[in-house]
Structure 1
Amino acid sequence: MSSDAADQQAPGPTVHCDDEPEGAEKVVLDHLRAQLPDEAVIIHGQRLTTPDADVEIDFLILWPGFGIVVLEVKGGQVQVEDGRWSTSGHPLRRSPLEQAMEGKYAFLDWIRPRMSMRPGRTVHMACLPYTNTSRWDDLPDAPRSHVVGQQDLGGLAAAMSMVLRTNMQREHPPSPAAVALVVKQLRQTHAAIENARSAAIELEDRANRFTQEQEKLLSVLRYQTRAELSGGPGSGKTHLALIKARQLAADGQRVALMCYSRGLGRYFELMTAQWPQAERPAFIGLFHDLPLSWGAEHAGDDDPQFWEVELPTRMRALAAERDRAELFDAIVVDEGQDFSNLWWEAVLSCLRDPDAGVLYVFTDERQRIFDRDGDAPIEMNPFHLGENLRNAQTVAEAFGWLSDEPQIVRNPGGEPVEQIDVPFDAAQDAADDAVERLLESGEWQPEDIALLTTYSRHPEQRQIVETEGYEVYWDGFFSASQVFYGHVLGFKGLERAVVVFCINGFRDPERAREMLYVGMSRARSKLVLVGDMAKIQELTAVAEEP
């Protein structure tokens, strides 16, 4: 079966799986297909990544009108003696039901911020297709009703129905519409995680063949407790930040890996989830999420005073109250130019040793596009990354005039940069037309293209964020399954093969130069500029005056 294909070749439930399962899981899937009705959905091997867990669910069954079942499958001859579980003589670290319960709670934690309603009645069960459990008694951690053995396979759906009818009665069963929404979001997240797995392998390979310049820097940084690395677009800052955080964690240090933008934070979560547990940072995500995870109250997204001043100040107070074990030996910050001086004070307060603790900061001063000033608390001059490993030559030349520091571009060639000269208020329609034309050409797929705006957000972006939330929105980007609609402010550290840059105005004209620099440099191969070219030249010329 092709990747994430829905099996619709015969009547019966919809089945989502990357590859047809084998062994015990195939036996279970065959019975589920034969017994469940057409409106049910079966997902095999669903991956979920949250800040607290990275799990793979054997089977997730979504049954409209009945409920949701997280089903763990265990092959071999399963036995329980004195509370210890084993399969075919090999001890199990956790019982199958405990694994299913972990998957259930990971699913509920994952889905909660993505839906305006609760997903519906959800239970966990285990299936042991090669074990006769007819003589099993109830165990403290394994009620007999929740474990389906070999002798009960013919009534697997009936057993699930019974558990759903007799448990979690305070929850309503999911409607067909709720099931459809959950499935859409699950498969999008699954694709994002699978793409991150491939990207993590690529990153590991890149770490083994970095340029000579980066190899020297990594060698120096190995023994440096504090350092700032500064470089232009595509210079490898984010990859170096990931590698450095992983090295520090592997050395036994308690590490925080943080940034400011949601998209980059989700990228960190997806990438680090592919690493061994011992090599993962203790905290991964947004600067503001750390004090919130420590108990700071959330004041809503539309209160700048809270985010800029009150929460960082509260962060320092919370850090002073924490047990020292909860603080960090090392902190790695990407896109550090986004941090204000007040934020840096809060960051230092989270180190076990604020004066000598490890701090690495990755910056590009030309990407300082927020009205916020700050300098990383590092005394040494920044290490400079002078190579561009992302952009094709044509793209790099298009935004090169916006930077004071030339880069060595490692990707020759590229498609000519296209300019569509229209007034700012007509830029969105022209950008939509450009996306449609690119897709009709047959040279580009939807997942190759990002449409980025500079002022008002695209209706597609607003619709997804307002109805499904930021988590679904960013997993949509990382699933690489559709055209991405975003704003230049939220796309730092990210890229796509093609960027249609919709320059539809500027909230702060003084930041026009920096916003153009960021947006244009997101394109790897092809860049389409849409906007009032004369006005753009005028704004950037004003920005150059002392």
Structure 2
Amino acid sequence: MAMPRTVHPPKKQLDKLRQPLTSGEKMVLDFLDRKLDKQWEIYIQPHLNGLRPDFVLLNPAFGIGVIEVKDWNLDAMHYFIKTHPSGFNELYARNELREFAVENPFTKIKKYKQEIFDVYCPRLQKKAGFAAICPIVIFPFAARYRVMALQESFLDKRAIENRSEWFPVAGREDLANGRLEAILPLLNRSDCPMTPALADDLRGWLVEPDFASTQRQPLILDKSQRTLAETRTSSGYRRIKGPAGSGKSLVLAARAAKLASEGKSVLFVTFNMTLWHYLRDLVARGVTRQDWMQNITFVHFHQWCKRVCEHPAYLKRYAMIMAPIKKIADDESLNDKEKKRRISAIATPILEDQVPRLALEAARSQDSKFDAVLVDEGQDFLPLWWNALRGVRNDDDAEMVLVADATQDVYGKAISWTEDAMSGAGFKGEWARLKLGYRSPSNSVRLASDFAKHFLPPEACDLPQPAQGNLELDESTVEWIQCDKQSAVRSCVDAVLAMHRKTGNQGLANADIVFLCDSIDHGLEFIKELTTYDAFRISVAHTYAHNKGEESRRKMAFWLGDARMKATTFHSFKGWETRLLVIYIANARGRENRSAIYAALTRLKRSELGSHLTVVCSAPELAAFGAKYAEAENRSVAG
């Protein structure tokens, strides 16, 4: 039986794409699927590290086709070329009211070709390799001669003479007459520099990341999770405790989705500023109305404090409290690293006590109130912070929900939540409990649980019970590499490159790779080494910066939907999950560091297609522990 064509994402999922196919794109996809041999793979809206061509075609025997489709009706507006005094040509359109610049598909497609050659297929040889990539512009609703007239100003003389080979365009007559060879001139060539290995370089970027396919699925909750998500207590106050991977964030997101769909206002608060993208995407999978976003405010706690304290009545006091931090931040004689060190030395009483106390006062006096306040990562909060948030309830019947896991107490705050403090915070009765672990495959759960039992206090260990009926059809892997500090960066880069060799199959993409470490300095060293590696020109979305403003901007922009590989710290990835994970451990001394390591070890996402974790460790205090998880031929790297 003939093998089916690779179409990614599968055609049955196309109606759930975030950006639905246009009628012209559907027409082109149908044409390609009917006319091309089954050996041609079709990738729809691939990420390509932030680029989004409409289609990429791949066949190791012929080459790569990258396609941009425009549904333009050239009679609806007048399209023309505007030449600026500098000689720069720009594509313009004119309607009855005005003229304006429009997106240029001809320059865009050339950019796609260049970047595929430069970044995604670095082993293609020059000249012949460049010819293996064919950029195509298709106008399904326009005559080809009119499209060619628009294209001409964006090609040099030699390219114009050879454009049917180098930069083909197609119109409605080409689709109607089935002129496949004219649309894809690669089919007319007798030789091709592509090989299966070179095709593998590209597939890791073309395959849809796990996050994107997950985002099209509805939220799935077990009975306990659904009960917590769909009900409330009589007082409106609820506290939920559960180990990593038990669905705490899932419950909060489902609750937020239900309330927002009912038209209620929700304040969703985290400690970790990188987490809001993840929570927003979870909520989006559970809502039942289109305008839900206007009902939910996502914010991290100190951002919320800043918002309420910048009210005119409190702004002067807020500025006075923050003045010592501002003085250091504005000192031009200090470099970013020294500024951060000095601010860290004075920040605790300011940010953990003085600012939240002012926020508590300010919140109670302001008009902006909510029907529900949902707090994730409760173990990272102090009772004072929770009480400050209580001030934004719109009435005494509003909901307040907190979820926590003391095992992930990376800031040492969980000890503040005594029963007396809990009672004073409005809670009554026992914690609601989530016990089953769903996130991680069994071998990584064993590693994380074993680590917690060895290195965390027994009273702080809340470990997941295995969920029944979770099938891991393809074996997941856990690898431990013990090394010295001198070879640690090289070992981390090797581990990430090994993950790259796993992509392009089993639903794994390069964008699924995540690197975690315990400090900004280690992260910057890793990024510097990785991005200068010649065989893989890897672009990385990371949060590492000593400049506080840049670090905050990077954290706010950090999300799994980014088409690049990701890198951040243990602390900033709490709450997230991925199928390809590399962790670097440099320091395992102290309770908070060990809690952060445990949190990092629980970030591997279970999949029936398999998941992979590599731990690189230069902390000598973990060498004996890690030896149990190292393979017999483990690469114990010497300097």
Settle same-fold status: TM greater than 0.5. yes
2:603 — aligned with what? Answer: 522
1:348-390 deviations in Å (ceiling 9; x for gaps): 122234x653111111111110133443532221111122221
Assess if the C-alpha contact under 8 Å between 1:196 and 1:270 holds in 2.
Answer: no
Distance 1:280 1:245, change over 3 A: farther
Assess if the C-alpha contact under 8 Å between 1:248 and 1:255 holds in 2.
Answer: yes
1:370 — aligned with what? Answer: 411
Q: Distance in 2 between matches of 1:407 and 1:222?
A: 26
Q: Equivalent residues in 2 for 1:26-425 (5 A)? A: 31=79, 34-35=81-82, 199-202=214-217, 205-207=218-220, 210-221=221-232, 225-269=236-280, 276-278=290-292, 280-294=294-308, 295=310, 297=318, 299=322, 302=343, 303-323=347-367, 326-353=368-395, 356-373=397-414, 374-375=416-417, 377=425, 378-401=427-450, 402=452, 403-409=461-467, 410-412=470-472, 414-424=475-485
Of 301-310 and 509-518, the range deviating more from structure 2: 301-310
Assess if the C-alpha contact under 8 Å between 1:230 and 1:384 holds in 2.
Answer: yes
Shift, 1:492, TM fit: 0.6
Larger Rg: 2
1:260-302 deviations in Å (ceiling 9; x for gaps): 1111123334555785224654421111222322315574673
**More strand by percentage:** 1
Distance 1:522 1:342, change over 3 A: same
1:315-342 deviations in Å (ceiling 9; x for gaps): 112113212xx12221011111110122
| Paired residue type of 1:322 | Q
Distance 1:228 1:539, change over 3 A: farther
Distance 1:388 1:414, change over 3 A: farther
| Paired residue type of 1:518 | A
Pair 1:453 & 2:517 matched: yes
Pair 1:482 & 2:564 matched: yes
2:186 — aligned with what? Answer: none
Under a length normalisation based on structure 1, what TM-score does the superposition of the two structures give?
0.60
Assess if the C-alpha contact under 8 Å between 2:55 and 2:68 holds in 1.
Answer: no
Assess if the C-alpha contact under 8 Å between 1:338 and 1:368 holds in 2.
Answer: yes
1:215-250 deviations in Å (ceiling 9; x for gaps): 343354476722112212221111211111122233
Pair 1:22 & 2:71 matched: yes
Distance 1:381 1:424, change over 3 A: farther
Q: Distance in 1 between matches of 2:265 and 2:76?
A: 43
Shift, 1:503, TM fit: 0.1
User: How many residue pairs align between the two structures?
Assistant: 381
2:172 — aligned with what? Answer: none
Q: Distance in 1 between matches of 2:74 and 2:349?
A: 53
Name the SS of the counterpart of 2:69 in structure 1: coil
2:5 — aligned with what? Answer: none
Assess if the C-alpha contact under 8 Å between 1:393 and 1:411 holds in 2.
Answer: no
Cα root mean square deviation, aligned:
4.1
| Paired residue type of 2:465 | Q
Pair 1:496 & 2:578 matched: yes
Name the SS of the counterpart of 2:264 in structure 1: coil
Name the SS of the counterpart of 2:79 in structure 1: helix
Distance 1:320 1:8, change over 3 A: closer
Distance 1:498 1:342, change over 3 A: same
Q: Distance in 2 between matches of 1:492 and 1:390?
A: 13
Name the SS of the counterpart of 2:516 in structure 1: strand
Assess if the C-alpha contact under 8 Å between 1:418 and 1:528 holds in 2.
Answer: yes
1:176-204 deviations in Å (ceiling 9; x for gaps): xxxxxxxxxxxxxxx9xx998865542xx
Assess if the C-alpha contact under 8 Å between 2:232 and 2:238 holds in 1.
Answer: yes
1:426-483 deviations in Å (ceiling 9; x for gaps): 4333112211222245565421211100234401346668596544555454334222
Which of 588, 594, 617 is residue 531 of structure 1 equivalent to? 617
| Paired residue type of 1:263 | T
Name the SS of the counterpart of 2:439 in structure 1: strand
Assess if the C-alpha contact under 8 Å between 2:510 and 2:565 holds in 1.
Answer: yes
Distance 1:273 1:235, change over 3 A: closer
Name the SS of the counterpart of 1:257 in structure 2: strand
What percent identity do the matched residue pairs reach? 18
Assess if the C-alpha contact under 8 Å between 1:195 and 1:478 holds in 2.
Answer: no
| Paired residue type of 1:430 | S
Name the SS of the counterpart of 1:496 in structure 2: coil
2:592 — aligned with what? Answer: 511
Under a length normalisation based on structure 2, what TM-score does the superposition of the two structures give?
0.52
Assess if the C-alpha contact under 8 Å between 1:246 and 1:281 holds in 2.
Answer: no
Assess if the C-alpha contact under 8 Å between 2:246 and 2:439 holds in 1.
Answer: yes
Assess if the C-alpha contact under 8 Å between 1:257 and 1:281 holds in 2.
Answer: no
Distance 1:451 1:380, change over 3 A: same
Shift, 1:535, TM fit: 0.7
Q: Distance in 2 between matches of 1:41 and 1:360?
A: 54
1:379-426 deviations in Å (ceiling 9; x for gaps): 221111122221111111111222443422435364231010113564
Assess if the C-alpha contact under 8 Å between 1:452 and 1:488 holds in 2.
Answer: yes
| Paired residue type of 1:407 | Q
| Paired residue type of 1:452 | L
Gaps spanning 5+ residues in structure 1: where?
10-16, 44-58, 64-153, 155-190, 541-546
Assess if the C-alpha contact under 8 Å between 2:53 and 2:67 holds in 1.
Answer: no
Distance 1:396 1:35, change over 3 A: farther
Assess if the C-alpha contact under 8 Å between 1:450 and 1:485 holds in 2.
Answer: yes
| Paired residue type of 1:314 | L
Gaps spanning 5+ residues in structure 2: where?
1-24, 26-43, 46-50, 57-65, 93-99, 105-149, 151-205, 326-339, 453-460, 528-541, 606-610, 627-639
1:135-194 deviations in Å (ceiling 9; x for gaps): xxxxxxxxxxxxxxxxxxx9xxxxxxxxxxxxxxxxxxxxxxxxxxxxxxxxxxxx9xx9
Work out which structure has the larger RCO, using CA pairs closer than 8 Å and 6 or more positions apart in sequence: 2
Q: Distance in 2 between matches of 1:418 and 1:256?
A: 40
